Structure formats: structure tokens, C-alpha cells
A = this chain, B = another copy of it.
């Protein structure tokens, strides 16, 4: 299959490295993936025969201006023009996420789908804002929109719900979806620190951002929960429908008290859907040690689904970083290659 990539940051570069590492594996599975173009905001590389990945990866280690890459480097062109002049099967959308506008990814995805090109993306913004519009467009054009990497990265939350529970109706979703807050809670518990002290450690280690509000105020969890809810329960809820609480009010005292009861605080995003109504919220919950997410500590993540005919399913994982993120892009491409129609 012929791929175009848009966005060439950490995940994009890791994706190239992964394809190089997995070359033999992919050949053994009968999968041939050629990268026809890589587009950044102001430059790119185009080669209709397929870009030499090893050579470009080496080049990229030293230089970021793809325009100066000798084989097919170019200055900024328009995606529309590039798609009209290349013949790709899949657009891999990896530009930075904007959860308020979805742009520029939303436009990229619409252009590609409208031209009958499959889209594989790690980009939360457009899925959060326009999932149903995008899937309708994809269905109309007979192509697939693969979003397995948008919620939890390597953790197969979306595919787990769509494929592992195929045929069942999901009635509740409980997600421990934010590694940063989970790390902070674990630090407080293990090292007997205050919230502020644990946050500082997370920031020093690069786990929490300088402005940690998106994570610690629960909005990252809410965003991911909303995607899971709308995709798996076929709803059209909005971020403003969710009651969101963060973790910044928790004290070491609270955590110690919970521990004495044999419980742990976790930031849980939870949706419960009945025929009459839907409730979506994010808040700190004291999990009993029998809860399957009780042990999901540190940077790990997990999700628990309740379904009608297939019972409960808990999925725990959490390899984080650019390689697992790239590997989950590759996973969606392989699922697509094997003919799976995720849109139904």
C-alpha cells in the first residue's frame, strides 16, 4: 500500500524508524508499505517510487529542512495539490492536536477522505469535534477512518471496543486514561508527598507539562472519554456535557485514609448509558482492591467496558512514548491491510 504522511515530528520520525526495523516482519506478512510523500508545514519530500526510509531517517537526524533533501525535497506545497499528483492509498495524519478547532488536521482529513483515500490518525482534535461528519464522508467514499491511536496510544481502547466487543452493546465505560495524574497519585502514595511536591517531580521528569492543567484538571481524561463514548456508544455528546473534576484538591491525608481501607484513588472517566439517559463524568474515585483498574499504577492506563452479551472486558497497557504511538499507527494500517472495515 502507498502512504502519504503529514506531520513529521516525534511520532512521524519514530514511524519511519519502526518501518525500517519491521521491514523483514512486514515482508513475512506479505505487507508492502511505500511512503510516497512526507509533508511538513513548510517543506516536504515526494518520491513516486517510494522514499528511501533509511536514507531520509539519517538525513533527518541532522537536518529538519526537508526541502534540502536531495531526492524529492520541496518547499511548501498544498496538500490538495500533492494528493492530486500522487497516488496514495492511505494518508497518515500526524500533525499536532488542537482540541478547539481540530485544525489543521481536520481539513487534511476531509481533503483526503473526499478524494477516496483512507485516513489513519493519532489526532484527537478532529475526532473529538467531527467524528460523525468524518465517518459519514468516509462511508460515502467507501474508505476507512482508522482512529485506534487517538485514545490511549498503544492501549487498544478503540479497537478493543469496536472489534473485541463486536456484536455486543457497551453499556458502561470506565477509563483510567491519563498517565500523568496516575503518576502523581502514585508518587504521593509511595513517597508520602503532598500533591504539589509530586507534581514538581512529574514536571522535572518531563511527565507533566509546565502548565499541567490539561492533565490535572481532568480535561485530557474527559477528551479521551468523550471520543470513546461517541465512537463506541454511537452518541454525539460534547465536552460541555461532561462534569469534570481534577486531582489538585487531593491531600496526602486522603490517600493515606484510602490506603487504610485497602483502597486507592484514581482519576476515572466514566460513562454509563441506559436506554433513557447517558451520564458522563470525570472524577477521583476510591477503587476497591477488587476493581480491575486498582493495580493500574504509574504511567499505565486501562479501560473497563461492560457489555450486554460479552460481559466485562478490561484492557490494561500503557507503553508510552513515540515508538508505541508509531506502533499503534502501524497496527491500524495492518488492520486496514487485512481488509477490516471498522466503520459499520
List residues of A whose CB falls within 8 A of some B CB: 18, 21-22, 25, 29-30, 154-156, 159-160, 163-169, 289-292, 294-297, 302, 309-319, 323-324, 326-328, 330-331, 333-335, 338-342, 344
- Which of A21, A294, A331 counts the most chain B CB atoms within 10 A? A331
Q: Are A164 and B164 in contact (CB under 8 A)?
A: yes
Given contacts A156-B164, A163-B159, A166-B331, contact A311 B318 (CB under 8 A): yes
User: A340 — which chain B residues lie within 8 A by C-beta?
Assistant: 163, 335, 338-340
User: A155 — which chain B residues lie within 8 A by C-beta?
Assistant: 313
Chain A at the B interface: SS class: loop
Give A317's nearest chain B residue, CB to CB: B313
25 A-B pairs, CB-CB below 8 angstroms? Answer: A22-B167, A154-B313, A156-B313, A160-B164, A163-B164, A163-B340, A164-B164, A164-B315, A166-B331, A167-B327, A167-B331, A167-B333, A168-B327, A292-B295, A309-B324, A309-B327, A310-B319, A310-B331, A311-B318, A311-B319, A312-B316, A312-B319, A313-B316, A314-B316, A315-B316
- Kindly report how many copies of this chain are found in the complex they form together: 2
User: A163 — which chain B residues lie within 8 A by C-beta?
Assistant: 156, 159, 163-164, 335, 340
User: A25 — which chain B residues lie within 8 A by C-beta?
Assistant: 167, 169
Give A315's nearest chain B residue, CB to CB: B315
Q: Are A310 and B154 in contact (CB under 8 A)?
A: yes
Chain B: minimal CB distance from A238 (Å): 24
Chain B: minimal CB distance from A284 (Å): 20
Given contacts A164-B164, A311-B154, A313-B156, contact A30 B338 (CB under 8 A): no
User: A21 — which chain B residues lie within 8 A by C-beta?
Assistant: 309
Q: Are A310 and B294 in contact (CB under 8 A)?
A: no
User: A289 — which chain B residues lie within 8 A by C-beta?
Assistant: 289, 295
- Which of A317, A327, A328 counts the most chain B CB atoms within 10 A? A317
User: A156 — which chain B residues lie within 8 A by C-beta?
Assistant: 160, 163-164, 313
Chain B: minimal CB distance from A258 (Å): 15
Chain B: minimal CB distance from A15 (Å): 11
Kindly list the 10 A-B residue pairs having the minimum CB-CB distance in the complex, ordered from nearest.
Answer: A311-B319, A309-B327, A340-B340, A156-B164, A339-B339, A314-B316, A166-B334, A167-B330, A338-B341, A313-B317
User: A334 — which chain B residues lie within 8 A by C-beta?
Assistant: 166-167
Q: Are A330 and B316 in contact (CB under 8 A)?
A: no
Bound form: Cα–Cα A342–B335 in Å: 9
User: A342 — which chain B residues lie within 8 A by C-beta?
Assistant: 338
Bound form: Cα–Cα A165–B159 in Å: 10
Bound form: Cα–Cα A338–B165 in Å: 14
Bound form: Cα–Cα A333–B167 in Å: 9
Bound form: Cα–Cα A317–B306 in Å: 10
Other than A25-B167, A312-B317, give 4 A-B pairs with Cβ distance below 8 A. A166-B335, A312-B319, A313-B315, A315-B315
